[in-house]
Structures are given as C-alpha cells and as structure tokens.
Amino acid sequence: MRFLAAAIVAVCCLVGVARGQDAIPASLTGAKGDPARGRTIVTNRQVGLCLLCHSGPFPEERFQGNLAPDLKGAGSRWSEGQLRLRIVDSSRIHPATIMPSYHRTEGLQRVAPAFRGKPVLSAEQIEDVVAFLMTLRD
C-alpha cells in the first residue's frame, strides 16, 4: 500500500513538471535583474560558486566544473522562470540534486548556526543571475 501511494505521488510530481509547473514565473523582487551583476555573481568563487560545478563561456576563468550542465546556451534551453526555480531550489525538480538551494532556508540539514535561516543569495542576486543566464543564448 505504501509503495502504491509513493508511486501515485511520484507520477503526480512528474505530471506537474511536464505541465510546465517547473518554474517560478514571477520575479522574486518584482523587477528585472542586472545581467552585469549576475555575471559577477556566477564567476565569483566566494559568492555564487557556480563554476565549482558548471562550466560556461568564461575563457578568463580557470578550473571550471564538469559536474553540472554547461551554462553556455542556458537562456535558450530554459525560460526565466525555469532558471529561477533551478537557482532558488533545484530539489523541487530533482529531489536528489547536488545543486544547493540558493534561496530556500527551510528543511535544510547541516547548516552552520551563523547561516541558519539565511539564503545563500538574496532575491536581488537571484534575479541578477537569472538576467545574466538569459543572455547566454549560444
């Protein structure tokens, strides 16, 4: 019986994603982000840490990651809302993801006391990163 219930929940989740519920359509701040600030966040190894796992069109950056999708063409592959959800909380799409939740603060484990209840990136920073990733069309 538990297996059946789990299977029904899993199918419902997959149907939701398939129907386009894999996005946060509205800006977290009510405004568009700044692509230049977003690029700075993506390439900064103390703030976003994106290049730890991702690679992208950043020839000046050495030692880019290969654990996650290349950011080249991200703006062509996903919508703004889809990118926003993946940055805010990728586990809503892929529960076993290794990508951190950059804006979720609830239900996290092994968070240092100084960082509990605080998102990794602010809503404005999330919007800046989304704006930058949308410029990556090739």
Give the CATH number of the domain where residue 71 resides: 1.10.760.10
- Which DSSP symbol is given to 64? -
Give the pTM: 0.83
- With respect to residue 12, please indicate whether it lies within any of the assigned structural domains: no
Give the tokens for residue 123. 């809503």
- With respect to residue 98, please indicate whether it lies within any of the assigned structural domains: yes
In the chain, % of residues over pLDDT 90: 80
| pLDDT digit string, tens, across residues 62-121 | 999 999 999 999 999 999 999 999 999 999 999 999 999 999 999 888 889 999 999 999
Residue 48 is predicted with a pLDDT of 92
Which structural domain, as residue segments, surrounds residue 101? 23-135
- With respect to residue 11, please indicate whether it lies within any of the assigned structural domains: no
Task: Report yes or no: 56 and 70 within 8 Å, Cβ to Cβ.
Answer: yes
CA 10 – CA 74 distance, rounded (Å)? 27
CA 88 – CA 119 distance, rounded (Å)? 9
CA 14 – CA 91 distance, rounded (Å)? 13
Residue 24 identity: I
The count of other CB atoms within 10 Å of the CB of residue 55 is 18
- With respect to residue 8, please indicate whether it lies within any of the assigned structural domains: no
Residue 104 is predicted with a pLDDT of 93
- With respect to residue 104, please indicate whether it lies within any of the assigned structural domains: yes
Residue 39 or 7, more confident: 39
- With respect to residue 28, please indicate whether it lies within any of the assigned structural domains: yes
- With respect to residue 89, please indicate whether it lies within any of the assigned structural domains: yes
- With respect to residue 48, please indicate whether it lies within any of the assigned structural domains: yes
Residue 10 is predicted with a pLDDT of 39
Give the tokens for residue 28. 């977290």
| pLDDT digit string, tens, across residues 41-64 | 999 999 999 999 999 999 999 999
Q: What b/e readout covers 78-105, taking b as 16+ CB neighbours within 10 angstroms?
A: bebbbbbbbbbbbbbbeeeeebbbbbee
Task: Report yes or no: 103 and 28 within 8 Å, Cβ to Cβ.
Answer: yes
**Total number of domains in the chain:** 1
